[in-house]
Amino acid sequence: MAETLICRSRNSELSPDEERIIIRDIALSAQANSKEGDTFFLITQRWWQYWIEYVNQDQTNNSYDGSSLAEHCDLANSSALKKPPGIDNSDLIDDAVSEESNSGIEIHDTLLEGRDYVLLPQEVWNQLYTWYGGGPTLPRKVISSGLSQTELTVEVYPLRLQLLVLPKNDRSIIRISKKETVGHLHRKACEIFDLQLNQVSIWDYYGRRKHALMNDMDKTLDDANLQMDQDILIEVNNTNNTTSSQENGFAQREASSVLVEPPKSSLSIAGGLSASKGASRSYNVELSSSQNVNSAVRDVEHPFGTSGVTTRGSFGGLTGLLNLGNTCFMNSAIQCLVHTPEFARYFREDYHQEINWQNPLGMVGELALAFGELLRKLWAPGRTPIAPRPFKAKLARFAPQFSGNNQHDSQELLAFLLDGLHEDLNRVKHKPYIKSRDADGRPDEEVADEYWANHIARNDSIIVDVCQGQYKSTLVCPVCNKVSVTFDPFMYLSLPLQSTINRTMTVTVFACDGTTLPSPSTVTVPKQGRCRDLIQALSNACSLKHNERILLAEVRNHLIHRFLEDPLISLSTIKDDDHLAAYKIPKIDKNTKYLQLIHRRREQSSDSQIVSGWKPYGTPIVSLISCDNAVTRGDIQVLVNRMLSPLRKKGGTLDQATASETSTPKATPDKCSSTDSGDTCATNVVSNSVNKDGTGSGSPPIPTLPLLLVDENNACIDLSMGEDKVVKLSPSSTILVYIDWSQKLLEKYDTHSLETLPEVLKYGPVTKKARTEPLSLYTCLEAFLREEPLVPEDMWYCPQCKERRQASKKLDLWRLPEVLVIHLKRFSYSRSMKHKLETFVNFPIHDFELTNYIANKSSSRRQLYELYALTNHYGSMGSGHYTAHIKLLDENKWYNFDDSHISSISEDEVNTAAAYVLFYRRVKTDDATVSNGD
């Protein structure tokens, strides 16, 4: 029956559910029997997702997570969809490259699985193609990969090689699997150019120079060290020299060769190497029999090493990484790690015995394997730029936040890599449970060593050996003065760039008695201050009267998010892009409630046929309302009129028809429909006496405004009629009242001052002063080590008080690692964006002296460091770009790594305002000790 269904044509009109079941069964069978050499087909994600939704439209709704092909066939979407059209893979095709290539259809270089395409087993593709047709067809082979060659992967991007024939000067671009043999490449080249096998010699022609004669016909192209977009020289031999060349395995007749040496001005040498360094042996590569034997022996001893690969220059480590689409953040971090000498040495040797395959906190060794493989490729001398697709795929698998093609934070990636590599390489297979003991007055040295020993008992890896240090952390309870000292490990230091102890904050001040317009006030407060410091500064700045007080509120999306009434709230919880309002209200607190007046207007719509609802805008105004007597609708009208009186335009007398325009029930928000449900629920609350002041003899009548009161059931009471009716107020401390601003009403009032609520700190272009006054790295370190209170969300549980306390915290450096990573906190994070500080930090390249910053005074070791790498960030978040400056220690020379482009730079160019993450190595000096008297 199944075979009959599978063979039915597209015109047989299978139901969506029948299609789903057929493909699911085929996929399950195909996935269970996958093996090397199988064929998979690319299909555009757009079409595939549409088909998934089509065949699941009658099922329970799920989401597509890109995990298993068979699972996709049981996803669903509740909407009714039409049958998909023919398969259209055109969005995967790079038409421009395909036209220039002789190797058939070319796909875009930056495609990602799950985002741009899905891989289908051949059986699944055949069935879909039978039903829908279309194309173009994009087959890809399954190959073995990984260091152990046991992992199966689909080779989406086979090697793209440019074949050059001399002396004919013909050329052709081909696609060929890296698992094909050199012999297959020979045959393919001869077919393309109509040559005989005994007529040609094929050379690894990297950089347009002969590097190695490719005469081992059984070696794979991967083992032959060929890379994407590399040149291959097809040299047509003289008949007399053909046999000699192939028997000896090296060129003996350079003088008789028809190859003409290219001029040095046209050379393209990887990594920016000069011709004298990078290609000193390129014209006549001779591999003697003794060299071949030694290489074979080394390959057996170090099966995962690269010593048997023919070198293409005298120096390694100058290989770029292709940008796969906003992956500069990843490339810069990787280059710094692979150029850390301890890591380069470790991963180029056989580190596999240290992989912790069972660590539940790790990535079952896959991250370490992917990183190690990438590192060895980057250190192979003279390679062309590498596309780190396998590594990025592993990264996306274990850290989905770095998937896709969005820009990310290089430091966040670095932190993940260091932690992930540590867990993958943790030598501790079974972590013991160790309970930390309290210091109990013991010497710091004893307690610190105990903490470190406990840490090493659970965490022991190359990452710990190289990058981890130890803090001394001191907490002091503000109530009982309990002191707690712990010694915690760290992987890197995150240093603040603000060297000042004060902070500038802008707050808009509202006078709720109807006397003045709202106005912004900018004050200076302690950076680690409390809300009481901000309230005091604002009170002084706005000449607060003796019978008034300041009520602070944070405004989000035109609504009050929270009142900042606790004077001990830390100002560090208020971000620079927050919006604050300060309301001057009477000091009377007994039997009063806050009345929040929230402004609304009709949402603008480009389609005149659509009636838009009322949406909040501007800034709410807050006042006090007394509850000593019953509150009527008229009382609230009087109070709101007084609050809005400064906004009334001159000559803007309101007629009752204009003022009483109210929203219809349909215009109110979902939670709030017009009703008079509160009319009969009178209570004995008493209205504010302001209505008596405004309606006395001889006073003009109070305009009736379109007000809606939100009752305790979230229903809205229309306050524009029945002014004597008593309203039932919500039992909470806050009363919400909406005012709906019609266009006619806005002609009488100017609400502009309500709409321009500034940020606490507005970031603008970097001033000249900021650029010309550098900040010392030592100053940043001192700010990091300065004592300060914990933020409220990190409050400490005091074991003596038995309560959570906002303790003060002091950090000290106790033990420093061999490689010290320093993160400069250029980005200020908030809910909606990141601000970047362009501060120029003057950091030392040589002689970074940290001896005096170590709290462990019993240590006699001098703490001296030297910079060897750093990442840079240029521009703003989202549109910025990362690079790396790295010093090759073997050459004692600095290079700029900008994705695939590498260029030499002077040491004077290393320190810029773009520096983001710094990498320092401990200096091994003769003067290894310092006096304890310092």
Question: Is the Cα torsion angle 5, 8, 13, 16 positive or negative in sign?
Answer: positive
| Residues 268, 527: Cα–Cα separation, whole Å | 53
Q: Is 881 a catalytic residue?
A: yes
- Cβ 527 vs Cβ 503: under 8 Å: yes
What one-letter code names the amino acid at 176? I
Tokens of 203: 């050379």
HSE, CB side, 13 Å, CA atoms: give it for residue 120.
Answer: 24
Q: Which of 73, 328, 467, 542 is flagged as catalytic?
A: 328
- DSSP letter (8 states) at residue 640: H
Sheet holding 200-204, edge to edge: 170-176, 159-166, 230-236, 200-204, 212-213
Q: Is 494 buried (19+), middle (13-18) or exposed (0-12) by CB count in 10 A?
A: middle
| Residues 934, 183: Cα–Cα separation, whole Å | 70
- SS3 string of 467-480? HCEEEEEEEECCCC
Q: What are phi and psi of 634, to 5 degrees?
A: -65, -35
Beta bridge partners of 598: 738
Q: Is 901 a catalytic residue?
A: no
| Residues 16, 8: Cα–Cα separation, whole Å | 14
Coil, helix or strand for 684?
Answer: coil
795-806 as b/e, with b when 16 or more CB fall inside 10 Å? ebebeeeeeebb
Beta bridge partners of 919: 821, 869
| Residues 599, 707: Cα–Cα separation, whole Å | 10
4-32 as b/e, with b when 16 or more CB fall inside 10 Å? eebeeeeeeebebeebbbbbbebbeebee
Apex 74 CA angle, 70 and 80, nearest 5: 135
- Cβ 617 vs Cβ 755: under 8 Å: yes
For 51, 182, 510, 622, 709, the CA distances from 734, given in Å and listed in that order, are 52, 80, 18, 9, 11
| Residues 137, 131: Cα–Cα separation, whole Å | 15
Would you name the residues annotated as active-site residues? 328, 881
